[in-house]
Structure 1
Amino acid sequence: MHSKTLFKQDFLKKWVLGLQYYGCSTKEMSISERTKAIKLSSDVAMASCRDGKTCWSRAVITDASKQGENKSLVRKILGNEYEKLTKYSIRSLVCNKRVRSKKILRKSRKSRPLVVLASTVIAKRMVNKRTRMLKDLVPGGDSIDDSFLLEETLDYILSLKAQVDVMRRFVSASESLICK
């Protein structure tokens, strides 16, 4: 519980830095540009709170820093950790690859009835389809090994949940200040 609170506090600090960056900008922004700026600053802030410990956080930071106009925002939010967290490209991310045992593979190839083989093929297709869909949802998912995909996805979902919670509290605090 304590780490969740620290994560939210860290996220809020970094997100406010990102919002200040766009607030100090002399450029007039449309509603859609403001929406993109808020989303980008919150995503980079959320990813930076994970300190590059997960593949999805490194992917978010790398994607954001690749775009020239976003580089200074990423640099502002990350501060001293900018060089450390942006030196990796998504292609160089090695996300916990495991090697399967040859013995297990040999045992699984023993002859089985045709019905079992057909159901196994169907089950494998369904799992592969859902795995591809999950990899599309998680930033940097295509570089994540299948054995760690659920762990990365869970971490990403928990971070998104914390992000939404902080943003809701921020909006309600802003509304209460405006109403007074």
Structure 2
Amino acid sequence: MRNINSVKREFLKKWMWGIRKYSSQKKNMSLLERKKAIKLSADLAMASTRNKTTRWSKALIANASKDGNNKVHTEHVLGSSPPPRRVRKSSTNYSHGTRIRSCRNTWRRNRAVHRPKDRSVASFIAKKLVQKRTRRLKSLLPGGEFMDGVSLVEETLDYIQSLKAQVEVMRCLVTASELMILNPS
């Protein structure tokens, strides 16, 4: 993982540049459009500080470039390179949701036959809890639904570091703007 201060500097530079580019395209923005521009610029700046080396950054860029309105802004922030290709789903023919429903139905039909013994109830419950939390983590991490367990943990740690840098930069900007309002020179 990179030095947090260099990540913050790079994020701030790219974020401010992205906001300027977006606001130069549209002169009169509504509050909702401003909010969207700030969020989009922050996501793209955060993803581009990772130089498209992580799956979550590729997923953020791909999600931003899906929308036709955001595509132009995405290209301005990232340069003229085409958006990254989406990560392929698993090799099975059916979707993840179908697989989960199928597993649940199978489990319900067979639970009387395969009920865990008393001594393994705790491990059974723990295993189900880990599976549930892993699914939840995959849904929170951009592109996480296509990752295995080890990659998921590594990408999550990197994503958390980037989010932490983003929050700290935004917090510093808010503090600086409050000081400017209170002490105009």
Tell me the TM-score normalised to structure 2 length.
0.77
SS in structure 2 of the partner of residue 90 of structure 1? coil
Partner of 1:56: 56
Q: Is residue 70 of structure 1 aligned with residue 70 of structure 2?
A: yes
Q: Is residue 91 of structure 1 aligned with residue 88 of structure 2?
A: yes
- Counting only pairs closer than 5 Å after superposition, residues 15-164 of structure 1 correspond to structure 2 as 15-79=15-79, 82-83=81-82, 86-91=83-88, 114-164=117-167
Alignment RMSD: 2.2
Structure 1 residues 70 and 6: alpha-carbon distance in aligned structure 2, compared to 1, 3 A threshold:
same
Distance in 2 between residues matched to 1:34 and 1:75, nearest whole Å: 19
The unaligned stretches of length 5 or more in structure 1 are: 94-112
Distance in 2 between residues matched to 1:21 and 1:9, nearest whole Å: 18
Q: Is residue 175 of structure 1 aligned with residue 178 of structure 2?
A: yes
- What percent identity do the matched residue pairs reach? 49
Moved >6 Å (runs of 4+)? none
Look up the equivalent residue of 1:172 and give its one-letter code: T
Tell me the TM-score normalised to structure 1 length.
0.78
Q: CA deviation at 1:55?
A: 1.1
Structure 1 residues 26 and 123: alpha-carbon distance in aligned structure 2, compared to 1, 3 A threshold:
closer
Q: CA deviation at 1:46?
A: 0.3
Q: CA deviation at 1:18?
A: 1.1
Distance in 2 between residues matched to 1:127 and 1:176, nearest whole Å: 46
* 1:17 and 1:76 in contact (8 A); partners too: no
Structure 1 residues 135 and 123: alpha-carbon distance in aligned structure 2, compared to 1, 3 A threshold:
same
The unaligned stretches of length 5 or more in structure 2 are: 91-115
How many residue pairs get matched?
A: 158
Q: CA deviation at 1:2?
A: 7.3
Distance in 1 between residues matched to 2:84 and 2:156, nearest whole Å: 23
Structure 1 residues 50 and 132: alpha-carbon distance in aligned structure 2, compared to 1, 3 A threshold:
same
